[in-house]
Amino acid sequence: MQRYQNYVLGQWVEGQGTETNLYNAINGNQIGTVSSAGIDFSEVLEYGRKQGRALRKMTFQERGRMLKALALFLMERKAKYYEVSAWTGATKVDSWIDIEGGIGNLFANASLRRQFPDLPYYVDGVAAPLSKNGTFIGHHIMVPKEGVAVHINAFNFPIWGMLEKIAVNLMAGVPAVVKPSEFTSFLTEVMARDIIDSKILPEGSLQLVCGLGRGLIDSVDGRDVVTFTGSATTGKMLKALPQIAAESVPFNLEADSLNATILGQHATPGTEEFDLFIKETVKEITIKAGQKCTAVRRIIVPENLVEEVQKGISARLASTKIGDPSVEGVRMGALATRLQVERVRANVEKLAQSQEIVFGDLDNFEVTGADKNTGAFFSPILFLNDNPFAKTDVHDIEAFGPVSTIMPYKTLDDAVELAKMGKGSLVSSIVTPNDKEATEYVVGAASMHGRILVLNKECAKESTGHGSPMPLLTHGGPGRAGGGEEMGGKRGVLHYLQRTAIQGHPTAITKITQQFQVGAEMPEANPHVFRKHFEELEVGETVFTHKHTVTDADIVNFANVSGDNFYAHMDATSLEGTIFERRVAHGYFVLSKAAGLFVDPKKGPVLLNYGLDEARFTKPVYPGATIGVRCTVKEKIDQEKRSEDDIPKGIVKFLVDVYDETGETVALATILTMVKKMNG
């Protein structure tokens, strides 16, 4: 009998005794045991904090490349994860969501490195002027928390649950202690072993507790972050622990919720949207056998379409073969454990007291290739609630399996109200061909939902569906759903960083942020910045150009070249009632002339100019004005080579400040360039 292990303090260890027996959800055979008893979790947390120094010292670029390497490494080994995933009752599609969806989170978060500086910390927002003469300013930086991310995950996604969370904290530079559900930890352990063996992550970046983990969060403190995914009841209990409040520990709760899908009044039978609604709803009932925190629990439809919807869903459910996913034709597997069967059954029986079962039977259903008495199988159950404003159990009780309820609505306002009666949900969806109807629903329901899918025939082919949270969007919801947020792209990474206000002279703030701040010292570049390689450039060094006096001929010539004959540039008789005193130079001429002034034309390390950010024209430039340019190194971002033949280079942002004879700025822009490195 295999004893599954925990990875803590740099080694794989077994817990004392047996806390949990582990079973194959398809055939009921025992596959092993697991325990974490006897582990000193205070030592585990402190080990993570100390070992996390290596991760904190890495730049965002290095962390992003690390995540990408890990994703590629795991993708090469995915076959073994599919094999073990089948033991959890998952079909191939279920496993794909868990395994490749999880690895996809690593790829997505790795790509976020392009939104962060080449530093171990993040510079947040823009500088705040704090003094009259500009010698004292404020800014914000965000540094990695010096604790650990403690992730307590649910049983339904043993791989995705781990990867979608650690992808974010690792990108932020914070190590993790992952505690998956003991019931499906055998699958998490398989992947965790590969992660540890790869040595892609610095030691201590990931620790794994496969047993019950009792006492795990008793030693957390203000440096740490705790996340919990699972039932609202358990999550609220953990969030209320004295240690969490006493130490002001950030706690992110993502709880199961009574998610709703709405059939719009314009999605009538015969439309593609009606067919989409039936298909998507059945998919949400049967994928992972309904064991998803985002699964559809409430099906809200116009009262005149209840019968049509019931027939459509029932017909599709009737053709869904339940059983061993390895058998051809099986489209729905088992629940994760026999314990889940008991829990789902108990809640179905409660719901049946106030509403009618119109499809499915708790006892009489067929299972293909397995024994339903030994495996953890459950029939899809479809309820009909004919008065959902009065019969409200459906808005309070969740059966965490293939169980959903159809309910009617009269007006769209009623549909919104019914959706919100779930007291806070992770996700809702509306299927409609009418954008006005979609807008009314979204605006009305958004306050009680973490995510809303608007589905129609135009996006259906590429839509990821009601139940699929995406790495670059937030996953969470208000109220019953826990009030937390995770993933969310850049937003999720910031959750693991400590924001700190910094104050000082612009030169000092420039050094700290490695971003040029207005008012900082601007040492003259010698040689010209276009003659320097990426490594040689220093933030703040500046080229001060020669001057140019703007003429009427400049304006006419630029109009001829560009085709921009806007009246303010070309017709001095049309300026009455405008802000201009006389014909004015094109803003783009001013920037173009600025480039002519600051660019060193000879071949050198600058490879190309590939963009322009934050361009502003702040003062009219009239013929006779004399302009000059201050071109300052604003920020440097390292860039990895895409191949062995790629030219080693980095991205350099230049602040282009165009000023006139009075010294006032007339145009301001950030130029993005690729600059060659000295060495590759």
Q: What pLDDT digit, counting tens, does each position of 549-601 carry?
A: 999 999 999 999 999 999 989 888 888 888 898 999 999 999 999 999 999 88
Shared domain for 275 and 246, answered yes or no, is no
Q: Single out the residue in 250, 279, 295 at which a domain terminates.
A: 250
Q: DSSP per residue over 465-495, as a string?
A: -TT---TTSEEEESGGG-SEEEE-THHHHHT
pTM above 0.85, yes or no: yes
* Domain end position, chosen among 467, 495, 530: 467
Read off the pLDDT of residues 370-427 as tens digits, 9 standing for 90 and up. 998 899 999 999 999 999 999 999 999 999 999 999 999 999 999 999 999 999 999 9
Write the DSSP symbol of residue 584: -
Flag whether 485 is in a domain. Answer: no
Residue 1: pLDDT above 80? no
Of residues 423, 398, 405, the one with CA closest to residue 340: 398
Is-contact 627 548, C-beta < 8 A?
A: yes
More confident residue, 680 or 314: 314
Judge residue 668's burial from the number of C-beta atoms within 10 Å of its C-beta, 0-12 exposed, 13-18 middle, 19 or more buried.
Answer: middle
pLDDT confidence of 360, banded at 50, 70, 90? very high
pLDDT, tens digit, 9 for 90 and up, residues 412-457: 999 999 999 999 999 999 999 999 999 999 999 999 999 999 999 9
Residue 614: is its pLDDT beyond 90?
A: no
Count of the separate structural domains present in the chain: 3
Query: Quick check: is 383 in a domain?
Result: yes
pLDDT for 235 equals 86
The pLDDT confidence band at residue 680, using thresholds 50, 70 and 90, is low
Range of the domain at 324: 259-467
Say if CB 204 and CB 11 are below 8 A apart. no
**Which amino acid type is present at position 567?**
Y
pLDDT grade for 234, boundaries at 50, 70 and 90: confident
The model's pLDDT over 269-278, given as tens digits with 9 standing for 90+, comes to 999 999 999 9
CA distance 651 to 383: 58
> Could you tell me what percent of the chain has a pLDDT over 90?
81
Q: If we measure between CA atoms, which residue out of 435, 437, 405 comes closest to residue 421?
A: 405
Q: Judge whether 31 lies within some domain.
A: no
In a domain, 646, yes or no: yes
Same domain, 556 and 425: no
pLDDT of the residue at 262: 97
* Portion of the chain with pLDDT greater than 70, in percent: 100
Handedness of CA 292, 297, 301, 306 (dihedral sign): positive
Q: How confident is the model over 520-553, as pLDDT tens digits?
A: 999 999 999 999 999 999 999 999 999 999 999 9
Q: Do residues 288 and 435 both lie within one domain?
A: yes
Q: Tell me if 18 is assigned to some domain.
A: no
| Per-residue b or e along 470-501, where b marks 16 or more CB atoms closer than 10 Å to that residue's CB | bbeebbbbbbbbbbbbbbbbeebbbbbbeeee
Q: Specify whether the backbone of 89 is left (phi greater than 0), alpha (psi in -120 to 50) or beta.
A: left
pLDDT on residue 367: 92
- Residue 571 pLDDT: 86
For residue 347, is it within any domain? yes
Averaged pLDDT, 472-476: 89
Boundary-marking domain end, from 250, 281, 315: 250
Within this chain, do residues 246 and 273 fall inside the same structural domain, yes or no? no
Instruction: Provide the mean pLDDT of the chain.
Output: 93
Residue 107 covered by a domain: yes
Q: Are residues 381 and 527 in the same domain?
A: no
Q: Domain of 423: which CATH number? A: 3.40.309.10
CA atoms within 13 A on the CB side of 485: 16
Catalytic residues, by residue number, are 254, 293
The domain spanning residue 98 has which CATH number?
3.40.605.10
Shared domain for 246 and 178, answered yes or no, is: yes
Helices (H), 474-542: 490-494, 506-513
Q: Give the Cα separation of 59 and 50 in Å (integer).
A: 18
Q: Same domain for 319 and 415?
A: yes
Both 320 and 442 in one domain: the answer is yes
Domain co-membership, 220 together with 366: no
Q: Is residue 492 part of a domain?
A: no
